[in-house]
Structure 1
């Protein structure tokens, strides 16, 4: 019986072939089409009525996505009480945003977006009413990108709010926003944002081509888009910058980049991105340039520490003990006297345990997550040392590595270093310093080949542009930022007038 059930031929659902058809103007046929389309959808409301001129009409909307009070007051009431309200242009309906729809497909898209659709007998077009309403989260400070000095507002899950945050910062009509729908069933609104005359034409066209080439059932988060449009999907390094901060998006738009906003998520995508984009923080531009430069110089060596410190420790203690000072090697040897594992296994177990604690701290409720991760690390580390499973030096190495990884401003890039840390430890445990150098060479070669929308990942270093070092290795004062980054061959080079250096007052 079960075998017959599983082998029974299942008929595919028959798609409505008239969805792209035009509205007929025959009330009964148009109403029947939408009732069949939205069959078994309890949240779809069909409000049928007759106008004061005895014309049949129906308003179709989704319960919870449209404002019924505004609909009753500004649409239904005028149609029931005002002569001429159902004319060709519906001039008596006090709704600011109205759009004429000609096809069933346009009507379905409008209804899905929360915009009620008005259909009247005898009209071969429908009317989309700008009365969408949905619950939304307040504008708050991004948790993952908090700053001491700078704007405290972040994107929300509502696309219209996110676009308005950008418009508040850039008032010029040169700010362009191209909207498209991606997803066969979700029909998620995606907006391509750029500043005309700053972003290269070939960059905009390439982004549009990649977005239009996405064919998927649904888009739930911007990471879906990111995986479809990045240049090298198998690379461990992120090639697009994601952020919740409107000021970060605006700053990159002013440098000639593009941004992609996705409805339903506060995370936007910025392209193209380079290695330095992931090591820099938005707060670097809100502090004085001397402070920001010092912080960057601290951040860069710790970037290497987070990747290489466990590997160097494994290589030195396993193959190159002669490179360690005598007093230190004696102290380390005495501490490891009762440790039953080789250094490589010891480091591997500690790193995995640290990653597990970090992940557990993220997944637990906020009230107990931080306490569990900190207390767990202290208790497990102390207990492991007392039990003789690991040495105190290994606990110190893993702790410093973890602290160094927290200094990476971008979570996605920090996660890439955490992934590469393990193969680097394997190379160090098998080949020593030679294995580390081979791993570094492999990473550098990969980074040299990596592209983000055609832009070299190591831009400002390879290819080298001396005039671009002012915003990579250091953070120069703003009166030095006369030119934009060289993202493309043709670009709007100058972004401010020269000779803006503050001049000391003259003594009279």
Structure 2
């Protein structure tokens, strides 16, 4: 697997120039080659029949059992070709391919195939291919089976208020969910096929006239430069197109909620949809987006603002509290009020480990329990994780291995780490806690401040598809502060993010309020 921004060998032009095996005039030879390449697999159905009553024409109907809809093949292809055709040379003046497309096939999507590679791809996509004797061109008809997972509630993003639907593993279902939200002809889709073996369909969606053309071009170029044998999830694409490979912070946003993706498209961002994955990617992804939830826009702005402030505070607590506790109790006891210092000292009496080892043991134990709870069967996972945490914490305190205050610190840290709506951001915070704790044990508060400044400088240096990661905080964009931490009322959000969108920056909405009468009984 390789990815290089300077390598254009996988561009659309290069793909077109790759050697392709043309179809032969002999139908028997074509069928023989297809059977050999596909290993005579019993799920690849090849039916050879004769059509046209007066001048018989030999054809082969090829499809994959399980991927294609048998009912559609029977009703709209087999029946039309074998029973409904009654042509003579006088009535059929055009060539046979065009005649079948114009007068015989009653399916909606029909296209030509000119080489064997196109035949393989069409069959494995659930389409039905029709090859004809004496013709070096075939017909691919859309007969994909509609069997897919039903649209359900999001499983990783809880919904308090808003649409109760999520993406599925089918690309066309996902694009349809977005089009239901944005009924605009300027919502464009560009398709790519990535993966030499898996041949995974990847689509990008954006609103023409709102999305930045440079960002759209950059997304397509990065997708075209991917060289890999298979794509099984959108996480593959996320890792291969992100700006920086060596950062704990996510620079590509993902969501399984159509309303979140639709809102991002209206801001001028670009969505990347991968067939087989219910998680849709959004680029560019900026730091504030990971601390914003869709419910923020479905309720009053003052409530959403308070909740956002709570999230930012929770992220700070989750990141800094363990290291601050270690540094203060180890090096700066004079900062603690005397009654609290006495209480902490009494609790730590008999504990054999320093605060740093104590904190590391508890943090690692909690991370193990959390990961085990995720991997366990759903029936027993929550019970085991909760009971395990309570029992281990209480037993550790009673045994004198850790102090009660350390259990409280770790519990508060763990709870605050779940305040981030984006799981990827909470993972980054979990990872950064440990180096801060090490710096706190080595240098005290000075080490904590060094680590905090290093994190801030690193975040400020990041970019997501050319856009500063910390915008609109750094660089400071006053007009975009209306939807950063403080959320202004809906009538005040008249502009789109300035750095993301530079063409259609105005939402063109006006909040019109009619002055009501103070006395409802006034006539």
Structure 2-normalised TM-score? 0.91
Equivalent in the alignment of 1:39 = 39
- Cα drift, residue 177 of structure 1: 0.6
Contact conserved, 2:269 with 2:500, CA < 8 A, in 1?
Answer: no
Contact conserved, 2:21 with 2:117, CA < 8 A, in 1?
Answer: yes
Equivalent in the alignment of 2:263 = 251
Write the distance in 2 (CA, Å) between the matches of 1:60 and 1:246: 36
- Cα drift, residue 108 of structure 1: 1.5
SS in 1 for 2:426: helix
SS in 2 for 1:24: coil
CA deviation vs aligned residue, 1:185-241 (integer Å, no higher than 9, x gap): 000000011000011111010000000000100000001001110000110000000
Write the distance in 2 (CA, Å) between the matches of 1:357 and 1:501: 53
- Cα drift, residue 89 of structure 1: 3.1
- Cα drift, residue 69 of structure 1: 2.4
- Cα drift, residue 245 of structure 1: 0.4
Report the number of matched residues: 491
CA deviation vs aligned residue, 1:420-447 (integer Å, no higher than 9, x gap): 0000000001100000000011001101
Match of 2:201 among 182, 189, 202: 189
Equivalent in the alignment of 1:117 = 129
Write the distance in 2 (CA, Å) between the matches of 1:24 and 1:287: 63
Equivalent in the alignment of 2:30 = 30
Write the distance in 2 (CA, Å) between the matches of 1:380 and 1:344: 19
Matched ranges for 1:73-152 at <5 A: 73-81=75-83, 82-84=85-87, 88-90=98-100, 91-133=103-145, 135-152=147-164
CA deviation vs aligned residue, 1:19-55 (integer Å, no higher than 9, x gap): 7133233212222221222124222111111114421
SS in 2 for 1:210: helix
Structure 1-normalised TM-score? 0.94
Equivalent in the alignment of 1:7 = none
Equivalent in the alignment of 1:48 = 48
* Residue 442 (structure 1) aligned with residue 444 (structure 2): no
* Residue 21 (structure 1) aligned with residue 31 (structure 2): no
Report the RMSD for the aligned CA atoms in angstroms.
1.6
Match of 2:467 among 445, 455, 468: 455
Equivalent in the alignment of 1:62 = 64
Write the distance in 2 (CA, Å) between the matches of 1:70 and 1:308: 60
Match of 1:476 among 482, 488, 502: 488
- Cα drift, residue 123 of structure 1: 2.6
Residues 455-464 or 106-115, more deviating: 106-115
Mark the CA change 1:18 to 1:328 in structure 2 (over 3 Å): closer, same or farther: closer
CA deviation vs aligned residue, 1:231-258 (integer Å, no higher than 9, x gap): 0011000000010001000000000000
Write the distance in 2 (CA, Å) between the matches of 1:459 and 1:161: 33
* Residue 505 (structure 1) aligned with residue 512 (structure 2): no
CA deviation vs aligned residue, 1:52-76 (integer Å, no higher than 9, x gap): 4421111111110001222122211
Contact conserved, 1:19 with 1:105, CA < 8 A, in 2?
Answer: no
Write the distance in 2 (CA, Å) between the matches of 1:41 and 1:18: 26
* Residue 198 (structure 1) aligned with residue 210 (structure 2): yes
Equivalent in the alignment of 1:399 = 411
Write the distance in 2 (CA, Å) between the matches of 1:428 and 1:214: 41
Write the distance in 2 (CA, Å) between the matches of 1:484 and 1:257: 10
- Cα drift, residue 483 of structure 1: 0.5
Contact conserved, 2:151 with 2:168, CA < 8 A, in 1?
Answer: yes
Matched ranges for 1:482-497 at <5 A: 482-488=494-500, 490-497=502-509
SS in 1 for 2:104: coil
Unaligned 5+ residue runs, structure 2? 1-16
SS in 1 for 2:143: coil
Write the distance in 2 (CA, Å) between the matches of 1:139 and 1:374: 31
Write the distance in 2 (CA, Å) between the matches of 1:401 and 1:145: 21
Write the distance in 2 (CA, Å) between the matches of 1:336 and 1:175: 62
* Residue 207 (structure 1) aligned with residue 210 (structure 2): no
Write the distance in 2 (CA, Å) between the matches of 1:501 and 1:353: 56
CA deviation vs aligned residue, 1:140-165 (integer Å, no higher than 9, x gap): 11111111110000000011100110
Matched ranges for 1:238-277 at <5 A: 238-277=250-289
Unaligned 5+ residue runs, structure 1? 1-16
- Cα drift, residue 496 of structure 1: 2.1
Residues 338-347 or 64-73, more deviating: 64-73
Equivalent in the alignment of 1:14 = none
Write the distance in 1 (CA, Å) between the matches of 2:282 and 2:268: 11
Write the distance in 2 (CA, Å) between the matches of 1:24 and 1:18: 19
Match of 1:367 among 362, 365, 379: 379
- Cα drift, residue 355 of structure 1: 0.5
- Cα drift, residue 489 of structure 1: 7.3
Contact conserved, 1:64 with 1:134, CA < 8 A, in 2?
Answer: no
Matched ranges for 1:294-309 at <5 A: 294-309=306-321
Mark the CA change 1:152 to 1:370 in structure 2 (over 3 Å): closer, same or farther: same
Contact conserved, 1:261 with 1:268, CA < 8 A, in 2?
Answer: yes
Matched ranges for 1:210-229 at <5 A: 210-229=222-241
